[in-house]
Amino acid sequence: MDIKATVLFLSLAVAVLSADSVGSKAQSCADVRQFYSGKGFTLHGVPQTEISGEHLHVCPQGYTCCTSAMEETLLGLSRRELEGLIREAGRSIQATLNAQYRSFDTYFLELLDGSERWLEAEFPEALGGLYERNAGLFRELYADLRRFYRGSSLSLEEALDDLWTQLLERQIKATPNITMATTSVSDDFLECGVKQAELMKLFGEAPRDLKAPLVRTFITARAFTQALTSAGEVVRKVSQVPLSSECNRAIMKLVYCGQCRGLGDLKPCTDYCSNVIKGCLANQADLQPEWEILIDALLQVAASFGVPGLDAVLFSIPVRISEALLSLQENMATFRSKVWQACGSPTEEPTESSGTEERKRRSITVLHYRSSSTDAVQLEVQVSDVSSKLKEMQQFWLQLPVALCKSKASSSRDRCWNGMTKARYQPDVMGDGLASQINNPEVDVDITKPDMSIRQQIMQLKITSSRLLTALSGQDVDFQDNSDDISGSGSGLCLEQSCIHSRVSISKGERPKYYPTENKRVRGTANQGLPCHILLLLSLASVLLRR
């Protein structure tokens, strides 16, 4: 071999050795090993340099720093991380809903307590002996109002009618010429007396003026707090729905396959991340239409609390009772005469002395309530706060993929991980919801098989919205929710066996009721007064919950 050939050979050998040296550096897995140990995993079995990737099932099968065991480990890690992020987003919404529930609940009950305290402070002077004889009835009325608000199945209309009936019965038995024991006054006489009182409007217009706004306010307030709780439960349950295996593979590829290729410094392309998350949360996105309807209904109810103000309605209770008792006192003499004529006398005819004694009684003072500027501001702040928070969460299910990709995705359209390498992501971004995923290039979604647990929560949103809108019209729908834990503490909903009538009183057949208005809606009859759309929704919900 001549000298020229020898020099050429040595030059080629040096070039090859240099190339091998450069290639060896490019194939190092040091960054992957550091990342993997940083996640808390052992480095046992982790390659020092890249290996052939035919063994990979999720990541691209080029040269890689990941073994089959590493891929499986990262597959589980990616699932746990995404499910954790979804639960965290759900907990944030739940916390907001719970905070609004507590805020409104505290405000409403403070108003109710204030109304009762005002009654107890003013009535002894305003009513005199009438208050002492009937203080227990007033306390029982407020107790009934609290029980109804908390979810009891008692009828507020019946509770109010019962108040006037018992006040009248006690007044009849306390008249000077009825001196016998209470049990001596027959039920027939009392029933006849109640009918006469209704005909002549013995209590004036006060019972009617109290009933309509008070019943509407309590029905709406109860439905409002129950809807806040129900919405929180829907979010909690949906946030716990496990990811599909197809979604899990797509998430692994999105988040960690770049690491296996030695491109761990690259974030996923934004459109790539959107397609993966939209495919994973396709069923959840289908909640959005009913979620928006529910939030709109909550906003309408919140706005209704301002006209008339909640304080004005709740503080009208002592005002209307004092008006009714003044009317009773002024008309009692005429009432007794009519009762004696129509019903007969249980003892003796009324005498002049008894009438004189009646006229000597101290006149009842009617209470007056005026809302202060402080009360008005407090209510405005309450309504404004709950409304702003509800509006913020109105697009929650559509914004969730955006929020999840915000921290993961790259701001660059070209220098990002597209699932295969560092390059622009070419496919179009899919729409929202299950039906839009038919051509999703990243997640294999079967649009013919919706997630039934999420469909149940969509039905729950429909029912809750319908009940809210029905309550807004002044009607109460006493449907029983049979979901597994909707009757939890503070929900205001209860199962059929645990919902009880809180008033322990003589049955309807034994005690006459005083009905001062024309609308006598009986709530005890099954399905009476329920709108057809509510019955349909309940039937559909029953079918879904049995599947």
Q: What is the pLDDT of residues 318-346, one digit of tens each?
A: 999 999 999 988 888 888 888 777 787 66
**pLDDT of res. 199:** 79
User: Which two tokens mark 242?
Assistant: 């496990």
Q: Which residue has the higher pLDDT, 498 or 528?
A: 528
Give the residue carrying structure tokens 């209860």.
494
**pLDDT of res. 146:** 97
**pLDDT of res. 513:** 52
Question: Which candidate, 455, 450, 449, places its Cα nearest to that of 544?
Answer: 455
Q: How many CB atoms lie within 10 A of CB 164?
A: 26
Cβ(313)–Cβ(163) below 8 Å: no
Mean pLDDT across 513-536: 42
**pLDDT of res. 252:** 95
Mean pLDDT across 124-141: 90
| In the predicted structure, residue 8 carries a pLDDT above the cut 70 | no
| In the predicted structure, residue 353 carries a pLDDT above the cut 70 | no
pLDDT band at 264 (very low <50, low <70, confident <90, very high): confident
CA-angle at 218, arms to 145 and 194, nearest 5° = 60
**pLDDT of res. 444:** 94
Q: Which residue has the higher pLDDT, 535 or 376?
A: 376
**pLDDT of res. 47:** 93
| 3 state DSSP class of 28 | strand
| In the predicted structure, residue 132 carries a pLDDT above the cut 80 | yes
Mean pLDDT across 157-170: 90
Mean pLDDT across 430-437: 96
Instruction: Compute the mean pLDDT over every residue in the chain, rounded to the nearest whole number.
Output: 80
Gap between the Cα atoms of 33 and 47, Å rounded: 8
Gap between the Cα atoms of 371 and 138, Å rounded: 22
What percent of the chain stands above pLDDT 70?
A: 76
What percent of the chain stands above pLDDT 90?
A: 56
User: Which two tokens mark 180?
Assistant: 């016998």
Q: How many CA atoms lie within 13 A of 367 on its CB side?
A: 25
**pLDDT of res. 176:** 56
**pLDDT of res. 169:** 83
Question: Which candidate, 433, 425, 428, 400, places its Cα nearest to that of 279?
Answer: 433
| 3 state DSSP class of 132 | helix
Mean pLDDT across 502-508: 35
**pLDDT of res. 269:** 94
Q: CA distances (Å), 533 to each of 120, 294, 357, 540, 545, in order?
A: 44, 16, 58, 11, 18
Burial 309-321 (b: 16+ CB within 10 A, else e): bbbbbbbbbbbbb
**pLDDT of res. 282:** 96
Gap between the Cα atoms of 187 and 504, Å rounded: 18
Q: How long is the chain?
A: 547
Q: Which residue has the higher pLDDT, 350 or 144?
A: 144
| In the predicted structure, residue 130 carries a pLDDT above the cut 70 | yes
Gap between the Cα atoms of 68 and 319, Å rounded: 78
pLDDT band at 184 (very low <50, low <70, confident <90, very high): low
User: Which two tokens mark 411?
Assistant: 């701001």
